[in-house]
Amino acid sequence: AQKVTQAQTEISVVEKEDVTLDCVYETRDTTYYLFWYKQPPSGELVFLIRRNSFDEQNEISGRYSWNFQKSTSSFNFTITASQVVDSAVYFCALSEASGNEKLTFGTGTRLTIIP
Amino acid sequence: GAVVSQHPSRVICKSGTSVKIECRSLDFQATTMFWYRQFPKKSLMLMATSNEGSKATYEQGVEKDKFLINHASLTLSTLTVTSAHPEDSSFYICSARDLVQAHAEQFFGPGTRLTVL
């Protein structure tokens, strides 16, 4: 069975600080995909990144960066120089690479950026 | 990215009535759509996988007679909450996967907030 753990339920940081959101996953599949989504107060899920299990290169997109460590089954997300607009709930998710590819979500981390 | 719409965005109904929620892929075709449920301050839980032209696959613990899913075309899936009760109040989100792109990410709709009085 697949499982995604986001141990941090809530995080608050002052604007401009860096913040890292942790994600640890469990799967028996050798091929799988990892995702991060942002859910602002409006409720809509915003796709941030998808990474397949064979690509362990870290990725940077503007102020966002992701650290995929297969050895520790982690896919952490860092926001650099945080802004108030980053305040949201962030979900890490895992999908199998075959079949219908349904997503297993973590419990989410509520991030609050304090102005 | 691709666009998925949901209608209505918000609905309030009386206990015992049925509510239909539509999920549409606007600019792509989706053989598979997913329905999720999210309780306040909780994660998204997959309810069922909707396949065009065939019966939906429900997750364990989800009553298929309670949550009717129809996927009549490659761009539309509907979820009907039958005989709704206050405990069915929740945020329902659909997602769709592009038919053409294998292993692509799912695109999510904006969600429907259901309140049953």
Distance CA B69, CA A42 (A): 25
Confidence (pLDDT) at A98? 62
Once rounded to an integer, what is the mean pLDDT over residues B95-106? Answer: 72
Region A96-105: mean pLDDT is 75
- Whole-number Å distance between alpha carbons of B33 and A79: 31
Mean pLDDT of chain B: 91
Chain A residues whose CB is inside 8 A of the B111 CB are: 43-45
Q: Are strands A10-14 and A59-61 parallel, antiparallel or unpaired?
A: unpaired
Does residue A105 carry a pLDDT above 60? Answer: yes
Mean local confidence (pLDDT), B28-54: 89
Instruction: Give the C-alpha separation, A46 to B45, whole Å.
Output: 17
Look up residue A59 and give its amino acid. E
Query: What is the pLDDT averaged over residues A28-54?
Result: 90
Q: Are A3 and A104 in contact (CB under 8 A)?
A: yes
Whole-angstrom distance, CA of residue A107 vs CA of residue A18:
22
User: Which residues of B touch chain A, with CB atoms under 8 Å apart?
Assistant: 1, 32, 34, 41-46, 49, 51, 57, 91, 93, 95, 97, 103, 105-111, 113
Res. B103: pLDDT tops 80: no
| C-alpha span between B112 and B115 (Å, rounded) | 10
* Residues B73-99, mean pLDDT to the nearest whole number: 93
Cβ-contact A32, A94 below 8 angstroms: yes
d(CA A66, CA A115): 24
DSSP B41-98: TS-EEEEEEEETTS--EEPTT--TTTEEEEEEETTEEEEEE-S--GGG-EEEEEEEE-
Q: What is the pLDDT of residue B20?
A: 97
| Chain segment A55-94, per-residue pLDDT in tens | 888 889 999 999 999 999 999 999 999 999 999 999 999 9
Nearest CA in chain B to A46: B108
pLDDT averaged over chain A?
Answer: 92
pLDDT score recorded for residue A16: 97
User: Across the interface, do B110 and A42 touch by the CB < 8 Å criterion?
Assistant: yes
pLDDT of A99 above 90: no
Place B97 in a pLDDT band, splitting at 50, 70 and 90: confident
Tell me which of A9, A103, A111 to substitute to probe the interface with B (most B C-beta atoms closer than 10 Å).
A103
- Please tell me the predicted confidence (pLDDT) of residue A78: 97
Q: Which two tokens stand for residue A50?
A: 């998808």
